[in-house]
Structure 1
Amino acid sequence: MAAAPHPLLTTARTLARDLLAPNAERVDRESVPAGHIEALRRSGLLGAGAPREYGGAGAPDAVVREVQEILAGACCSTWFVQTQHHSPVRMLAASRLPVRERLLRPLATGELLAGIAFAHVRAFPRVPVRATADRGGWRFDGTVPWYTGWGLNDVMLLAGVSDAEEVVFAFAEAREQPGLRASAPMRLAALTAARTVSLELDGLWLPGESVVLRTRREEFARVDLPRSTNASPAVFGVARAALDVLEAAGEGETARVLRTRLEEVRGGVYELAAHPVPHERIAERLELKTRAYDLMRAATTAAVVAGGGRAMSLDSPAQRLAREGLFLLVQGQTSDVRRAHLDALARI
């Protein structure tokens, strides 16, 4: 007998079917509503990978990845807001600093929603945000180019680089305050609904007990490498959703061929994601990531082609999925990922 699906997968599929997917086109044109976030808080999905002793589900990584696929395929904007939450949870779970006891439980249970403001650290040797030791805490100055979930998140995980090339990660309230000012929400070709802003930091001071991690920049880059070189579960979620649209349009054979190829690549990506040494086999990870991009692009393009002129309507999921796919091509992009992807495109 086949094993019953993990309860979190059942919860994610129900939420996707009953709330996220039916409203995805409206959300895409407007904004991720607070009601979607409240549903996520109640669902337990925000604590999918969090330790059980802190109120999380402690689910296996394979389950956590599939939950992310389901949410991204149903409403990529909502997925993008909530996916920011899981990095702070993982960092707190690995920390032994006092902030763990203050924030891990409310984040694991969904009482609080976290966003992230540290992707800019990957821009080194440019330092968009500088961290300076000051009065027993840290002062942050500079610009966070992208911050998603403004107005929805309760707290943010902010990072800056010190003069000694140490990356300092600390939690701040996700609101305007002395030393922190947000831009107007950005208008983007896709995922405008995710409420992305830039943040201007001018002497934002955070106490020492807000710090969750201090690490050498080289060590951050080493640990961060698999995060940027592995294909995101969202790529497979959006591709699968596009293939469902294609099947519904009567193009079952094309969908079957593409789905077979997609599942093969997905299996390879997740096998490497589970590799015990995460910063090894980088070339193979990048090759699979670019193949996943190719199949996502093929799936979303096929959904648009099958829909014809109707696919250009803002009420059509095909055009939304195609634009979400474009967004995923550059989400979390680094110079190494960009180079590998462009080189692969040049070989087509």
Structure 2
Amino acid sequence: MSSTTVNQGVAHQIEQEDQQALLNLAETYLRESVAPVASEIDDNPQVLKEALRGMGDRSLLALRVPKVWGGAQVSEITYRHFQQLVPRYSGALNFLQTQHQSAAGFFTNSENEALKQQYLPYMSKGEILVGIGFSHLRRSGEPIMKAVVVEGGYQLAGKVPWVTGFGFFQDFIVGAALPDGRAIYGVVPFVDTVQETGGAIAFSEPMQLGAMSSTNTVTATLTHWFLPQERVIFIKPIGAIHENDQKNVLHHGFYSLGCARAGLDIVEAAYQTKQLPLIKQAFDALDAELTRCQSAMMQTLPPDSQTWEERLQLRAWAINLAQRCASAAVTVSSGAANYRYHAAQRVYLEALVFTVSGQTTAVMEATLAQLVVSNRFE
């Protein structure tokens, strides 16, 4: 064996140890500092802001950004473990930090070096926080956010129906449809702003959502907004977002796995208190199924390891598991689960959010297929 091969092996081992240390750091923080205030985080933006700041203090907010830009540059496997870890302790914190991690990925993949220099070195620690607003590009029919070419850049007009993180993030990445069907992505301020040219961007009051309302999800309205060329991240071909949804169909499923584990944590705690064998039996069965689902999903990470249809079924399985584990948490908590701030109540509502997060028609169909079963009482 050559010295080069040995050195590569040692470097790989060190990298794996570093990434495991990062996961351990994240779990310790989440378990000790986030879990005790999870209900408050779900309801109070200020407590959520403190929790997000804690992640930034530990350099956990740009995990997939290359190290040259100040990120952690973790492996695919490490990141998918992280995706399960955060929602186990707080769905609201997970939902918010995911927006920022996604924005960091957009900057990383951009050819706009000036934007990279302006944002990436400051994203890992949360010195700059950025959101995203482009899910509307998945909609069919007339675009609700349009862009046209003007001198020096683009003019944007329309509505962004969902932007999460108002009051948390300084800017957000907006997506708009060009006349030829391509999509442009650019950076705009996440605060009411009027330009000297007459363009404006305004935001609604935070929506009264059933879960994770502390994340401050709002609607943005852009009127004759001038987006200069230097604020453009990239322009994507027609249908790129749908192709990306297919390619990444499994990724949102890891959040559902974390939510399922949160439900089982409650079931396990209930058994420790009530010592009923039937609770232990339910926990063991669901825990074994969750382990199988997680293993199957992790095995699909290598490209072309499974077909899109197989990944889609795994996504639906993960969603179904989150729903059932959350229901189990409610069941073993008995009447206390009705309490507004009970952990089972929070996890049950979080399972709702993860059911529809990043949903496409195909995901909806697969999710419904899991729910529709034969009548066992026939």
TM-score by length of 1: 0.94
Deviations 1:302-329 (A, max 9, x none): 1110010011112310111011001111
SS in 2 for 1:47: coil
C-alpha distance in 1 between matches for 2:143 and 2:256: 29
Equivalences for residues 1-348 of structure 1 within 5 A: 6-31=20-45, 32-98=47-113, 99-178=115-194, 179-250=200-271, 251-272=279-300, 274-277=301-304, 281-348=307-374
Contact 2:171–2:187 (CA<8 Å) still a contact in 1?
A: yes
SS in 2 for 1:56: coil
Opposite residue 100 of structure 2, the aligned amino acid is H
SS in 2 for 1:45: coil
How many matched pairs?
345
Contact 1:8–1:48 (CA<8 Å) still a contact in 2?
A: no
Deviations 1:149-175 (A, max 9, x none): 110012211110100111101111211
Opposite residue 280 of structure 2, the aligned amino acid is G
Contact 1:243–1:299 (CA<8 Å) still a contact in 2?
A: yes
**Cα offset, 1:3, TM superposition:** 6.5
| 106-115 vs 166-175, greater mean Cα deviation | 106-115
C-alpha distance in 2 between matches for 1:306 and 1:33: 28
| 198-207 vs 124-133, greater mean Cα deviation | 124-133
**Cα offset, 1:333, TM superposition:** 0.9
SS in 1 for 2:33: helix
Contact 2:254–2:318 (CA<8 Å) still a contact in 1?
A: no
Deviations 1:66-92 (A, max 9, x none): 222221111111111110012221122
Contact 1:72–1:78 (CA<8 Å) still a contact in 2?
A: yes
Identity %: 27
SS in 1 for 2:61: helix
Give structure 2 stretches of 5+ with no counterpart: 1-15, 195-199, 272-278
Opposite residue 167 of structure 2, the aligned amino acid is G
SS in 2 for 1:49: coil
Opposite residue 159 of structure 2, the aligned amino acid is T
Opposite residue 204 of structure 1, the aligned amino acid is W
SS in 2 for 1:186: coil
C-alpha distance in 2 between matches for 1:126 and 1:6: 46
SS in 2 for 1:6: helix
C-alpha distance in 1 between matches for 2:105 and 2:181: 23
Give structure 1 stretches of 5+ with no counterpart: none
In structure 2, the CA distance between the partners of 1:25 and 1:103, relative to structure 1 (3 Å rule), is: same
SS in 2 for 1:189: coil
**Cα offset, 1:231, TM superposition:** 4.1
**Cα offset, 1:95, TM superposition:** 1.9
| 113-122 vs 335-344, greater mean Cα deviation | 335-344
Deviations 1:109-163 (A, max 9, x none): 4221111001111113341211111221122111111111110012211110100
